[in-house]
Structure 1
Amino acid sequence: MSWAVRSGLEPIKKVAGIIKDHLLGILNAVILPAEGLNSRIKMIKVRSKVSATEAGLGTDLNSV
């Protein structure tokens, strides 16, 4: 962000200041949904392995 401040362009400085002020919120908005999606994917994998085992298909779904 320091390059934005040194640029001397007021609109760039303003945006850099806004990003700096709200950086934690921006990161939470980007990172946390990704973590939630990762958790859902893991749960789907676990459920599919249980279903495959119950159906007698084994647990190695990667070979299917």
Structure 2
Amino acid sequence: MTPPFLFYILYDNEISSRHEFCEACGELLEREGWTGYNVVKATWEGIPVDCCDMLDDHLLP
């Protein structure tokens, strides 16, 4: 389980919005320097949320 998956649990339980979820994931990836292709791809595996309209391409698989 990747750290953004914890944000997904909040989103899935309707505790946060899709916008808040995507923003938090993007900030975490940037802040931790997890922007390499394999890391980004692994981060989003198993998270069925489309954030392509909110995040830069380098933060999406």
With normalisation by structure 2, the TM-score equals 0.30
Q: Give the structure with the higher percent helix.
A: 1
Structure with more contact order per residue of length (Cα contacts < 8 Å, sep ≥ 6): 2
Computing the radius of gyration from Cα coordinates, the structure with the larger value is: 1
With normalisation by structure 1, the TM-score equals 0.29
